[in-house]
Amino acid sequence: MYKLCSQIAFCSGGRKAVTLCFLLFCILCLGLVLTSAQPNAKLSSVTVQAEGIGATQSEASTDALIQAISKVNGVAIATQMSSSIKETYLNTDNREDYALTEDFQRNIVSNTKGVVRSWRILNAFQNPELNDLWVVKLEVDVSKYNSSKQLKRLRMSILPFRIGGDVSQIDNRTLFQKHFSRQLENYLTQSRRFAMLDRNFLSEQSKELSFIANEGVKIEEFARLGTRVGTDYIIVGEIEEARVTSKRRTMQTSDKTFIISKASGRVSYRIIDVASTQIKFSDTAEISVSGDGLAKAAESLANEAGETILNAIYPIRVVSGNTKQLTLGQGGITIKNGRTYNVVKLGGRIVDPYTKEVIGREEVIVGTVKIISVQAKSSTARVITSSEDLLPGIKNMSLIIRPLKHSDKSGSGKINDEYKKTQEIMKNSKESINTLEKNSENDW
């Protein structure tokens, strides 16, 4: 670096050359700092206290170390580490004096690949109530792999759907199940509202974790062994029907014949709380389309089911915008460009008179929008109509959008029957809005 700066200064012969050298040196140093920090960016140290019991003080200490690892990284990684810790102690030939030295501590750190970083003894004594066994309390620094922030979302996984009905259509139902499950997983993942956990490739994941446990793997990689999490909800269901039918048609104006194929399917599904086995949501979806194959029909039905699930749990929010254009907090494949949506204003909470549970909020349609741009995490919609000023609703985050299932997707500009009904509802919604605002003015 010094030679490079000297050459530049000699060739240029001025202050600019010196300044350039200094900038190059700063950039190089910054790069080294970032490079050295990046590998351990997901690795942190957690200090915990743990207690162990053993025939000797060292045995009790090794037991406490295993308990400390279990507290931070879980039982699975603690079980794998226990053999390394116990083997380190046995290699001392049971020498109590050596097992309590700093060299022994360094061997533990090395053999656990840095999962145990260091420790200190808080208390050690022989307990007469335990036949004079040693009880040791340690304060241990344990390496922990920082999991993705996405795991703080509602965790959900899709299990393989059951194949129902008669066996004559087993191949069609199996094909339908494969494409339906995969597309539903894609849809819910891209909604960015759930942490979708895989349950179909567990054997492949186990092989990779076994590789991580081998010698020569980085410490921060090994700490990942304790990061597996359980799911909050599972989606299960049954493929009740999946078939393809063909009809031969003859044109009246000529003798030409052609074949029209129709793909149809019906799926029942439910969302189950794993901890309580409670059914949180259930529905049956079906589809019948001409011209498309069974795989396309399954994917279309999965998108419809995904939209139903998403709107039941996390309706699409209006996050910002103005009177002409709105920004929505959702994008990806969950939003279709050119599609029309109702703009809905949320009001006060609705309580079920029997169960006394909150079952939702008042909803009043206050406008319609059309999607004009879709990004990975958000989308943009143009306001087509509105029965009131949308700015207050944008400001207090009280606006959501609901899909028009039969909205015009061709972009021809024709207003369908449902769109006309929406306009009629909006004309008579002024009084409802005033009442809603009066009853829920303290709800924001």
- What is the Cα–Cα distance from 98 to 53, expressed in whole angstroms? 19
Helix (H) / strand (E) element for 181: namely: helix 170-190
Assess contact for 240 and 267: CB atoms under 8 A. yes
Identify whether residues 415 and 290 lie together within a single domain. no
Identify whether residues 374 and 276 lie together within a single domain. no
- What is the Cα–Cα distance from 346 to 384, expressed in whole angstroms? 20
Whether the per-residue pLDDT at 409 is higher than 50: the answer is no
Instruction: At 304, give phi and psi (nearest 5°).
Output: -65, -40
* Mean local confidence (pLDDT), 39-61: 80
Domain boundary among 271, 294, 314: 314
Identify whether residues 111 and 159 lie together within a single domain. no
Nearest to 260 by CA among 252, 250, 270: 250
How many Cβ atoms are within 10 Å of 187's Cβ, its own excluded? 22
DSSP 357: -
Per residue in 241-292, pLDDT (tens digit) is: 998 888 877 777 777 777 788 999 999 999 999 888 989 899 999 999 887 7
**Domain CATH number, residue 375:** 2.40.10.410
Per-residue pLDDT band at 410 (split at 50, 70, 90): very low
Q: What is the pLDDT of residue 324?
A: 93
Identify whether residues 158 and 304 lie together within a single domain. yes
Asked whether residue 372 is assigned to any structural domain, the reply reads yes
Q: What is the pLDDT of residue 271?
A: 93
Asked whether residue 1 is assigned to any structural domain, the reply reads no
Asked whether residue 292 is assigned to any structural domain, the reply reads yes
Instruction: At 349, give phi and psi (nearest 5°).
Output: -75, 145
Identify whether residues 436 and 325 lie together within a single domain. yes
- What is the Cα–Cα distance from 272 to 183, expressed in whole angstroms? 20
Whether the per-residue pLDDT at 71 is higher than 60: the answer is yes
Identify whether residues 322 and 293 lie together within a single domain. no
* Mean local confidence (pLDDT), 35-64: 75
Q: Which residues contact 24 (CB under 8 A, 6 or more apart)?
A: 1, 4, 5
Per residue in 216-237, pLDDT (tens digit) is: 555 555 555 555 667 889 999 9
CA within 13 Å, CB half, 89: 19
Helix (H) / strand (E) element for 121: namely: strand 116-127
> What's the longest Cα–Cα distance across the chain?
104
How many Cβ atoms are within 10 Å of 405's Cβ, its own excluded? 9
In this structure, the chain runs to a length of 444
Assess contact for 301 and 360: CB atoms under 8 A. no
Whether the per-residue pLDDT at 4 is higher than 70: the answer is no
CA 282 to chain centre: 21
* Mean local confidence (pLDDT), 80-103: 68
Asked whether residue 247 is assigned to any structural domain, the reply reads yes
Q: What is the pLDDT of residue 209?
A: 61
Q: Please work out, in degrees rounded to the nearest 5, the angle formed at the alpha carbon of residue 246 by the alpha carbons of 242 and 251.
A: 150
* Mean local confidence (pLDDT), 40-66: 83
User: Residue 370: beta bridge partners?
Assistant: 340, 382
Domain boundary among 117, 145, 173: 145
Whether the per-residue pLDDT at 9 is higher than 90: the answer is no
Q: Among 84-98, 144-158, 248-262, where is mean pLDDT lowest?
A: 84-98
* Mean local confidence (pLDDT), 2-14: 47
C-alpha distances in angstroms, 266 versus 165, 242, 294, 341, 400? Answer: 11, 7, 12, 26, 29
In total, how many domains does the chain have? 3
Asked whether residue 33 is assigned to any structural domain, the reply reads no
* Mean local confidence (pLDDT), 53-68: 87
Per residue in 287-320, pLDDT (tens digit) is: 998 877 899 999 999 999 999 998 888 889 999 9
More confident residue, 275 or 415: 275
The proportion of the chain whose per-residue pLDDT surpasses 70, expressed as a percent, equals 69
- What is the Cα–Cα distance from 229 to 94, expressed in whole angstroms? 38
Helix (H, G, I), strand (E, B) or coil at 361: strand
Q: What is the pLDDT of residue 275?
A: 87
In the numeric block, the tokens 């549970």 are attached to 357
Whether the per-residue pLDDT at 3 is higher than 60: the answer is no
- What is the Cα–Cα distance from 336 to 307, expressed in whole angstroms? 11
Identify whether residues 273 and 288 lie together within a single domain. yes
Whether the per-residue pLDDT at 169 is higher than 60: the answer is yes
- What is the Cα–Cα distance from 112 to 91, expressed in whole angstroms? 15
Candidate ranges 11-25, 89-103, 397-411, 425-439; pick with highest mean pLDDT = 397-411
Assess contact for 426 and 342: CB atoms under 8 A. no
- What is the Cα–Cα distance from 434 to 387, expressed in whole angstroms? 12
Q: Is the pTM of this model over 0.85?
A: no
Give the ranges where 249-335 is alpha helix by DSSP (H).
294-313
DSSP 27: H
Whether the per-residue pLDDT at 93 is higher than 80: the answer is no
Identify whether residues 156 and 197 lie together within a single domain. yes
Domain that holds residue 118: 43-145
131 Ramachandran zone, left/alpha/beta (phi>0; psi -120 to 50) = left
**Domain CATH number, residue 140:** 3.30.1660
Asked whether residue 18 is assigned to any structural domain, the reply reads no
Whether the per-residue pLDDT at 109 is higher than 70: the answer is yes
Q: What is the pLDDT of residue 167?
A: 62
* Mean local confidence (pLDDT), 402-420: 53
Per-residue pLDDT band at 200 (split at 50, 70, 90): confident
Asked whether residue 11 is assigned to any structural domain, the reply reads no
Nearest to 440 by CA among 347, 366, 350, 345: 347
Domain boundary among 288, 314, 340: 314
More confident residue, 267 or 419: 267
Asked whether residue 272 is assigned to any structural domain, the reply reads yes
Q: What is the pLDDT of residue 422?
A: 55
Identify whether residues 135 and 209 lie together within a single domain. no
- What is the Cα–Cα distance from 415 to 417, expressed in whole angstroms? 7
- In the numeric block, which tokens belong to residue 174? 């199996």
User: Residue 367: beta bridge partners?
Assistant: 343, 386
Identify whether residues 305 and 323 lie together within a single domain. no
Nearest to 234 by CA among 271, 261, 206: 271
* Mean local confidence (pLDDT), 147-159: 79
Identify whether residues 134 and 281 lie together within a single domain. no
Per-residue pLDDT band at 352 (split at 50, 70, 90): confident
Per-residue pLDDT band at 2 (split at 50, 70, 90): very low
Identify whether residues 303 and 190 lie together within a single domain. yes
Q: Mean pLDDT of all residues in the chain?
A: 77
Q: What is the pLDDT of residue 42?
A: 64
